[in-house]
Amino acid sequence: MIAVWKSCLALSFAVHSAFARNVSNRRNETQSFSANLLEESMRWMDMYYDSERGYLFSLDAAALTHETRPSVWYAAGLLARNEDDDVEQAVKIVKNVVGSQFKNESLQWYGNYQLYPEEPTVGTKQYPPSIYGTWDPNWRGFVGTTFVVMLEEFAHLLPQDVQTYMVQSLYHTTVGDSYRVGGLNNDNLYPAYSNPSIMRAFVSGWVGRRVHDLNMTTAGEAYAKEIIDLFTRDNTLSEFNSGTYAGVSLFAMTLWAKYMPGDSLMGQHGPDMIRHTWTSLGELYNANLKNVAGPWDRSYGFDMNRYLSILALQMWTIVGKEKAPVYERPYLMGHKNDFAISPLVAILAPYHNTLVPAETLSSLNTFPGTHIVKKSAFSPPFDTYPRNITAWLSTNLTIGAESFVENVVGGPAKNQAAFTPAVVQWLRKDGSVGWLSLYAQSLALDVDVGANYLELSYPQSNETNSSFSFLVGTNGWDGKKDIASWADVEGVQVNVSGSVNLNYTVEFGGLRGGKWKPVNEFEFWNFTYGMPEGSEEVPRVRLQVEVA
């Protein structure tokens, strides 16, 4: 009896010290991975910096114009790097950006920041206001949160007058952000618009406390409460599983968790929200394919190895660049401009990464084996019911889809290119990833997902809106360049059945031609199935899929 007890104790002691070693290991790894992310991203942005003007040139190198948002992200990186005249340059950027903030309180874009310094005055006859066009309401949040990170982490490097200037700017931006009400004046900021809503609640709560404006603090807490209520319904972000925006939401929730005091709902819920978000992401991640399985509420690509996602930058700080879905030269990937947010990811990683559950960490390294994931997410006022997500993940094939009933086509962002409700991905023999995705064209979709199959139907449709278009990625480097049927799609075998007409069309969406234009910089083959003429059946299609 005693012997058994003793050996238990010994085992528990061994486990504890191994655990302590692991924790310290993880801390050290995070430190070196994030230092490496900071260094690589800064080296890249250094090439774009215009020290004469104190702005970054546009990352799209548009005839030497400049750009505000990457400039402030770079400025945060300059403070973190703090070599040579880095601090001086950071201060110069900050002063430029604050100096050109919109200060007219009666305008909808009050407290916002310019998109680029050369722009004409927004709201003039020749440069009319256009939300998400000539001005972007989310930049209050992006620039504002960056200022807070600078003030929280690097105040010792910033002259007092510059700090005061930044806090004043944050005050204006918070008041301006309070003008935003989803559904009014073309604005779309609802609590379900996760990434900017989490930033809004934070900046309001932080600035309110900093300048002792109780109303502002209370407004931030009240908005946070709405976000938390939505989240805790099934412990998911409304903007679910988006390689880009889950990354922004994780960044913003880290601000809640790290900088908000215990008397704040944000301080209380932030850490668990991060843990839950990573739990879903870890369950949906397939380390063999280096991709988070679909569905993706808002995506800027179909294969994380080929477009740069903010989530992949966070993974870089957790498991290292080699194991993360990041190309060796990240600035060659699709959507590469988001590489500019790297300094913020790197600065917060030492804290953020302590909240990544052990099981998630393990899934980011090694695929744990075939399994099914079921979740739900809810985006009022666009969803009639919560969306139901099912994904089946196996060694080299993943299938994921969501059922929804919405009042818009293309998800809450009304963007058919980004809303990706049904996705299949497979590993090809050359190690690259093949994919197919349902092009979002309907208000409602029912899905059934399981081992090797994807079944989709349009519960509300009739013959006017009843075709299923699957965008299918091009073959690998050595694969066939021309595709006429499923038999030409490499690495996978697909059998189709359902109420659809089994005769389908295949059309190309190419960089230089074909019937369609690439979506999110990805070329594709558009496989379209219509309903037989006169059919009154519910449009339904079933794909039986095997890796070949």
Ligand X SMILES: *[C@@H]1O[C@H](CO)[C@@H](O)[C@H](O)[C@H]1NC(C)=O
**How many whole angstroms separate alpha carbon 519 and alpha carbon 473?**
11
Q: Which residue has the tokens 């100096």?
A: 99
Minimum CB separation from ligand X for residue 526, in Å? 4
Q: Residue 420 carries which DSSP code?
A: B
Using the minimum distance from each CB to ligand X, give the nearer residue, 314 or 466.
Answer: 466
Minimum CB separation from ligand X for residue 483, in Å? 14
Angle at CA of residue 191, ends 110 and 343, nearest 5°: 70
For the record, the structure tokens of 62 come out as 């548009």
Minimum CB separation from ligand X for residue 201, in Å? 11
Minimum CB separation from ligand X for residue 320, in Å? 13
**How many whole angstroms separate alpha carbon 273 and alpha carbon 231?**
8
Minimum CB separation from ligand X for residue 469, in Å? 4
Angle at CA of residue 48, ends 44 and 49, nearest 5°: 110
Using the minimum distance from each CB to ligand X, give the nearer residue, 164 or 395.
Answer: 395
Using the minimum distance from each CB to ligand X, give the nearer residue, 195 or 437.
Answer: 437
Cα 14 to chain center, whole Å? 39
Helix (H) or strand (E) holding 392, with range, is strand 387-394
Minimum CB separation from ligand X for residue 91, in Å? 27
Using DSSP, state whether 254 is helix, strand or coil. Answer: helix
* Paired residues of 456 in beta bridges: 447, 541
Minimum CB separation from ligand X for residue 447, in Å? 9
For the record, the structure tokens of 49 come out as 């910096």
Omega prior to 386 cis, within 30 of 0 = no
CB 201 within 8 A of CB 249: no
Using DSSP, state whether 15 is helix, strand or coil. Answer: helix
Omega prior to 295 cis, within 30 of 0 = yes
Using DSSP, state whether 323 is helix, strand or coil. Answer: coil
In the chain the first and final C-alpha atoms are separated, in Å, by: 56
Other residues' Cβ atoms within 10 Å of the Cβ of residue 520: 17
- Tell me which residues touch ligand X (CB under 6 A): 15, 18-19, 21-22, 24-25, 28, 104, 106-107, 178, 215, 219, 376, 385-388, 395-396, 403-405, 409, 427, 429, 439, 441-443, 460-462, 464-465, 469, 471, 493, 495, 501-503, 509, 516, 519, 526, 528, 544-547
CB 79 within 8 A of CB 380: no
Minimum CB separation from ligand X for residue 402, in Å? 8
Cα 205 to chain center, whole Å? 23
Q: Of 250, 275, 294, 253, which Cα lies nearest the Cα of 425?
A: 294
Minimum CB separation from ligand X for residue 389, in Å? 9
Using the minimum distance from each CB to ligand X, give the nearer residue, 54 or 208.
Answer: 208
- Per-residue HEC secondary structure of 166-186 comes to HHHHHHHHHHHHCCCCCCCCC
Burial (CB < 10 A; 0-12, 13-18, 19+), residue 327, is middle
Using the minimum distance from each CB to ligand X, give the nearer residue, 244 or 467.
Answer: 467
Minimum CB separation from ligand X for residue 51, in Å? 32
Using the minimum distance from each CB to ligand X, give the nearer residue, 231 or 439.
Answer: 439
Using the minimum distance from each CB to ligand X, give the nearer residue, 169 or 398.
Answer: 398
Q: Which residue has the tokens 């510059």?
A: 162
Using DSSP, state whether 529 is helix, strand or coil. Answer: strand
Helical H segments across 100-154, by residue range: 139-154
**How many whole angstroms separate alpha carbon 245 and alpha carbon 236?**
13
Amino acid at 94: V
Helix (H) or strand (E) holding 27, with range, is helix 2-46
Using the minimum distance from each CB to ligand X, give the nearer residue, 78 or 266.
Answer: 266
Minimum CB separation from ligand X for residue 459, in Å? 8
Minimum CB separation from ligand X for residue 58, in Å? 27
Using the minimum distance from each CB to ligand X, give the nearer residue, 74 or 392.
Answer: 392
Using the minimum distance from each CB to ligand X, give the nearer residue, 189 or 344.
Answer: 189
Using the minimum distance from each CB to ligand X, give the nearer residue, 96 or 457.
Answer: 457
Minimum CB separation from ligand X for residue 56, in Å? 29
Using the minimum distance from each CB to ligand X, give the nearer residue, 207 or 346.
Answer: 207
Amino acid at 33: F
**How many whole angstroms separate alpha carbon 237 and alpha carbon 244?**
13
Using the minimum distance from each CB to ligand X, give the nearer residue, 58 or 388.
Answer: 388
Amino acid at 544: Q
